Chains A and B, each alone.
Chain A
Amino acid sequence: MIIAKNLVKKYKEFAAVDGISFEVAPGESFGLLGPNGAGKSTTMRMVGAVSTRTSGDLSILGLDPNAYGPEIRSRLGVVPQSDNLDTELRVRENLLVYGRYFGLPRKQVAERADELLAFAQLEDKAKSKVDALSGGMKRRLTIARALINDPKILLLDEPTTGLDPQARHILWDRLFRLKEQGTTLLLTTHYMDEAEQLCDRLVVVDKGAIMAEGSPAELISKHSSREVLEVRFGSDRNAQVAEQIAGFGDRIEVLPDRILVYSSNGEREMERMTQAGLHPITSLVRRSSLEDVFLRLTGRTLIE
């Protein structure tokens, strides 16, 4: 569905995307994970056939976006990072107008708009003004709009950024349904839990380049341990304690507010610490996550 090889996008001298390669298979849910400014959105715009690449090869649905922009876009659904719904029109009108851009007959667009309002759980908001919707509703309307042409590929740029937990879960549920129906999803996120929930496979992107690639489970097993012990000794003592427990677990990461001990058994590390006479203010044993993968690969946390 999507094949990118050595994709580069430069703005003057700055390379926002610096030679990334990946392939997305039909029906797959593929994620670009990375911090703000990693080049995720730029990649999405190139895949969305609205931004011309500086170099490299890109094929979407078997077509080159440089020559077949409108053709590719006719089979894509795009959910941009910030909603660009038409605030001069009502909720349902947003869908009607957008469907027309794809050359769909009015009757078909109207039917589809009603289906999608139901899908997005916005039936009773059909005649509302866009500005009257909550953030989560706007997001769902944007997704409904992106589905008006029954796209082969749905591009989602940080679909749940800025939403409260409940709204995120509703959205994830909707996206999961689409995935079940066989829609290919390409999404960017800087949320680990989102990537773990939605992505079959993902690449970790930083500074325009790919750091690692695999399924969430593969990445975790390859780049992190099974469990993580998180301990806090207070921000002035963390660094000092870290020296004392050097050699604990497989690896130790010192963050400003806490120490992470990577191990196959977090409880065992905690016991060792107690035996050494160290008593953290708080301690927590958790499963390793993509956040740890990212930290390992880049030495930085995702959300700074």
Chain B
Amino acid sequence: MSTVHSAGGTGTVAEQAIAGAVRPRRWGSWYVAEHRFRVMRSYAQTVVVTAIGNPLIYLYAMGVGLATLVDGNLGPEAVDGVSYLAFVAPALLASAAISVASEEFSYPVMLGFKWNPVFYGMNASPIQPGQIINGIVISVTVRMFVTLGIYFGFMLLFGAVPSPIGFLAAFAALLTGLGLGALLMGYTATIIDDNGQLVMVMRFIILPMTLFSGTFFPLSVLPIYLQWIGWISPLWHGTELARVFAYGASEPIWLTVVHVLYLSALLFTGWTWARRVTVRRLNK
């Protein structure tokens, strides 16, 4: 029969406790992220296949398919002064970020509170509720960064990035995903009983967003009474920002600043919201 060896430190029990919390207080968020990465490993195949397949399919379909039609009819500087592929690629990049965000900021939170309630286990350890949320943000940022890096690589291969500072478009997309995702995370944390709320959000907010966010055609093409949807859509702000970097889309500098501020504000709001709800929910 085995025995369990003592790993306790020296000093009084209170001193041991204080020493024991030093690392979790500092690194707790990263430990939660480590947990997420370990779980992601179990669906690593999906992560890799979507990260590679997505850009390949969309860029090919748009760049070779739809672009041929648009450029053929409107000329090589078809939309916004560039080829249709160059116009649509930054938007697809931002959409890819939204797609990762809508997956990773929703169900893992729902799981952690309810279906596979690991948050309660974390909360019983030195990890604090806010760190649980931070850890999710860290892990999704990493996954999104890798996905967007691959996407951007394909954009270069397809010759869809005219600007030398085009790589900044990937960061614009990252901010887009995090901004929308943080809000989604805050909302998901408030769901006590699952009555299909997340499915509704996906179906009626996230999916239609691409239609009203200037993804496939400029927002100005829409009638004015529909354009406001774009103005509040994180995807529109992210897409426009990515276009500024990818091909130097012309817009007033103040508008570029607004894109950054708007997306940052969403990120901050959602993150704070999720932390507050989690603190409240875990302290019963």
Q: Which residues of A contact B (CB under 8 A)?
A: 1, 26, 45, 48, 50-52, 61-63, 68-76, 78, 80, 84-89, 93, 97-98, 100-104, 108, 112, 115-116, 118-119, 145, 147, 149-150, 152, 177-178, 181
Contacting residue for B121 out of A75, A84, A152, CB 8 A: A84
B45 at interface, CB cutoff 8 A? no
CB-based contact A101/B117 at 8 Å: no
CB-based contact A98/B117 at 8 Å: no
Q: Which residues of B contact A (CB under 8 A)?
A: 2-8, 12-14, 16-18, 20-25, 27-28, 31-32, 34-35, 38-39, 42, 111, 116-118, 120-128, 282-284
CB-based contact B38/A89 at 8 Å: yes
Contacting residue for A75 out of B17, B34, B124, B283, CB 8 A: B17
CB-based contact B42/A70 at 8 Å: no
- The CA of A80 and the CA of B16, in the complex, are separated in Å by 24
CB-based contact B2/A84 at 8 Å: no
CB-based contact A100/B31 at 8 Å: yes
CB-based contact B4/A115 at 8 Å: yes
- The CA of A187 and the CA of B227, in the complex, are separated in Å by 61
- The CA of A93 and the CA of B28, in the complex, are separated in Å by 18
CB-based contact B31/A181 at 8 Å: no
CB-based contact B31/A103 at 8 Å: yes
Contacting residue for A70 out of B34, B38, B126, CB 8 A: B126
Contacting residue for B282 out of A50, A63, A80, CB 8 A: A50
- Cross-chain pairs A/B with CB under 8 angstroms, 14 sampled: A50-B284, A51-B283, A63-B18, A68-B18, A70-B24, A70-B128, A86-B118, A103-B31, A112-B7, A119-B2, A149-B125, A150-B4, A150-B6, A181-B3
| Chain A residues with CB under 8 A of B28 | 70, 101
The 7 nearest A-B residue pairs measured at CB = A103-B23, A74-B20, A101-B125, A62-B14, A118-B2, A70-B126, A150-B7
| Chain A residues with CB under 8 A of B125 | 73-74, 98, 101-102, 149
| Chain A residues with CB under 8 A of B34 | 97, 100
- The CA of A98 and the CA of B31, in the complex, are separated in Å by 9
A180 to chain B minimum Cβ distance, whole angstroms, is 10
Q: Considering only CB atoms, which chain A residue lies closest to B2 in the complex?
A: A118
CB-based contact A74/B24 at 8 Å: yes
CB-based contact B123/A50 at 8 Å: yes
A161 to chain B minimum Cβ distance, whole angstroms, is 17
CB-based contact A103/B8 at 8 Å: no
- The CA of A45 and the CA of B13, in the complex, are separated in Å by 20
- The CA of A118 and the CA of B3, in the complex, are separated in Å by 9
Q: Give me 17 other A-B pairs in contact (C-beta within 8 A), A68-B17, A73-B126 excluded.
A: A45-B284, A62-B12, A62-B13, A63-B17, A71-B18, A75-B13, A75-B16, A78-B124, A80-B121, A89-B38, A97-B34, A97-B35, A97-B38, A98-B121, A103-B22, A150-B6, A150-B8
